[in-house]
Amino acid sequence: MIRNARVEDAKAIAELVLVILKDMEVAFLEEFGEEKTVEVIMKAVESPTYRYGYARGIVKEIDGEVAGIAFGYLAEEEERIDLPLSDALKSLGLPEARIFVDLETYPNEWYLDTIVVNEKFRGYGVGTELLEAVNRAAKEAGADKVGLCVDFANPKAQQLYKRQGFEIVGKQILSGHDYYHMQRPV
C-alpha cells in the first residue's frame, strides 16, 4: 500500500535516510555518528516542513513494514526545508549543524530529494511504485516536472530513472560527489 508518511514512521524513515547519508558521506554523519544521526532525523520527522518531515513523505508499506520511502518538495521551498533541523538538534541538546550545504534543485520543479527501498524489499517493484506516487505528489503541488539527482557511480539507479522517463538535464556536485540532474514531465 502506498500512503502518506506518518510521525509513527520516524524510526523507519530515519534508518532509510541513513542509507543515503552514508552514500553521500555527509560531514554531519561523521560529526555525530550513525546512532545520533538517526535520533536527530527521528525528531525532525515530527516537523511537517522539514526535508524529511512526515508531511513531505510517501511510504510504501508491505505487511505493516515500511518497505520504501520517497521525500520531495517544490524547488522554491529549498531555502527553508532544513530550518526545522535546528529545533531538533536543540531539543536533543546538540550543537547547531547542517546535514546538507549544497542546493540541489533546478528552478520550477518538484524535487525528489530521497527515494530508498528497504534492502529486504528490493527487487519487488517498490521503487517503481514510489516513483509513480511521486508524480501524483508533484502534480498535487502544482509542478509540471519532477527532478532528482543521481550519483555518477550508480548506473543501476540511472537506468531505473531512464526507464521511468527521466532524462539527464545537467550535472552538479553535492557533498563532494558528482551527480547527474535528471527530470521528467509530470
Three-state SS for 107-166 is CCCEEEEEEEECHHHCCCCHHHHHHHHHHHHHHHCCCCEEEEEEECCCHHHHHHHHHCCC
Beta bridge partners of 66: 61
Q: What is the pLDDT of residue 143?
A: 96
Sequence length of the chain is: 186
Q: What is the pLDDT of residue 151?
A: 92
Local confidence pLDDT in tens for the 186 residues of the chain: 999 999 999 999 999 999 999 988 889 999 999 999 999 999 999 999 999 999 999 999 999 999 999 999 999 999 999 999 999 999 999 999 999 989 999 999 999 999 999 999 999 999 999 999 999 999 999 999 999 999 998 998 899 899 999 999 999 998 888 999 999 999
At residue 60, the 3 state secondary structure works out as: strand
The grid coordinates of residue 30 equal 561523521
